Amino acid sequence: MEKIIQERYVQLENIDMTFFTKKGTFEALKDVNISIREGEFISIIGHSGCGKSTVLNLIGGLLRPTQGNLFCAGREIAGPGPDRAIVFQNHSLLPWLTCAENVHLAVERVFGAKEGKAKLKQRTQDAITLVGLAHAADKRPNEISGGMKQRVGIARALAMEPKVLLLDEPFGALDALTRAHLQDELMGIMAQSGCTAVMVTHDVDEAVLLSDRIVMMTNGPAATVGEILEVDLERPRKRLQLAEDSRYNHLRSEVLKFLYERHARKAA
């Protein structure tokens, strides 16, 4: 039976987010509305302080909005849950555990009450294999590279079988070549998993390469959605071919134009 794609799989409706601090109130977001389709890859981009990570944390249930409604797969988002897994810029691996043990920890937490040890082990192995780290399963974090650590973080998130994968600048701390390699790998991983993904990034090329749509945020305070750009490039996408693709370069220019104009307004 053909899968019916939900057009409003993740829904942010009239979201306001105000932080109350000792120095007073800070209105981070104002009237944010975003609809994300099931299986879609969305990037959120904008200048520093535009509330990108705040949007991600709201979807993840780490924050509650001051006003508005949040939904995932038809249910209100009222807090963190295994249906929404987050991959941070810092991989946050436990140094005394192996790669496989770090992944297994998440698997056991989510599925341990209803599945036996053999099934849990298989889930762990499948996730490690999916990110191409079967050869490093028994290594500890200090024995692998930064890029491999980030792949373990992605494997740990996907092992939970989330409905939505949330990525907060997952490759921001990596060198350019490692970053490019992991971007290519992430495209393959997402194609296999079919997971819905929302990624925060500062990198225009990364956003255009990976995304189905790019949500471009206005400057803060009281940031909101400025524009949403449809990335109508065929998949699978090949980095070297896209470098000379006129449509790719047009989309890249549209994002840069938006960011440049926002920077000019902020400077003025």
According to the per-residue pLDDT averaged within each range, which of 3-7, 113-117, 165-169 is highest? Answer: 165-169
125: left (phi over 0), alpha (psi -120 to 50) or beta: alpha
178 and 53 within one domain: yes
243 and 196 within one domain: yes
155 and 101 within one domain: yes
234 and 210 within one domain: yes
Give the tens place of pLDDT for each residue, 71-126.
Answer: 999 999 999 998 999 998 877 899 999 999 999 999 999 998 888 999 999 999 99
138 and 10 within one domain: no
Q: How confident is the model at residue 4 (pLDDT cuts 50, 70, 90)?
A: low
Q: What is the pLDDT of residue 226?
A: 96
Per the structure, the count of domains in the chain is 2
Name the residue with higher pLDDT: 130 or 32: 32
The Cα–Cα gap between 182 and 151 comes to 8
Q: How confident is the model at residue 1 (pLDDT cuts 50, 70, 90)?
A: very low
Give the tens place of pLDDT for each residue, 118-139.
Answer: 999 999 999 999 888 999 999 9
Last residue of a domain, one of 161, 180, 203: 161
For residue 29, the surrounding DSSP H or E stretch is strand 24-36
139 and 182 within one domain: no
Q: What is the mean pLDDT of residues 196-200?
A: 96
202 and 188 within one domain: yes
Q: What is the mean pLDDT of residues 50-60?
A: 95
Give the per-residue SS3 of 215-233.
EEECCCCCECEEEEEECCC
Q: Which residue type sits at 228?
A: I
Q: What is the pLDDT of residue 266?
A: 65
Q: For residue 12, what are its two tokens?
A: 């942010």
From the number of C-beta atoms within 10 Å of its C-beta (0-12, 13-18, 19+), residue 224 rates as middle
- Here the CATH number for the domain that contains residue 6 is 3.40.50.300
Q: Is 59 helix (H, G, I), strand (E, B) or coil?
A: helix
Q: What is the pLDDT of residue 267?
A: 59
User: Across the chain, what does the average pLDDT equal?
Assistant: 92
201 and 125 within one domain: no
The Cα–Cα gap between 101 and 122 comes to 12
If we measure between CA atoms, which residue out of 74, 70, 54 comes closest to residue 62?
A: 54
221 and 206 within one domain: yes
Last residue of a domain, one of 101, 135, 161: 161
Q: How confident is the model at residue 175 (pLDDT cuts 50, 70, 90)?
A: confident
Last residue of a domain, one of 111, 129, 161: 161
60 and 135 within one domain: no
180 and 249 within one domain: yes
Cβ atoms 161, 128 nearer than 8 A = no
146 and 244 within one domain: no
Give the per-residue SS3 of 93-153.
CCCCCCHHHHHHHHHHHHHCCCCCHHHHHHHHHHHHHHCCCHHHCCCCHHHCCHHHHHHHH
Name the residue with higher pLDDT: 196 or 268: 196
Whether this model's pTM surpasses 0.75: yes
Range of the domain at 49: 1-83+167-268
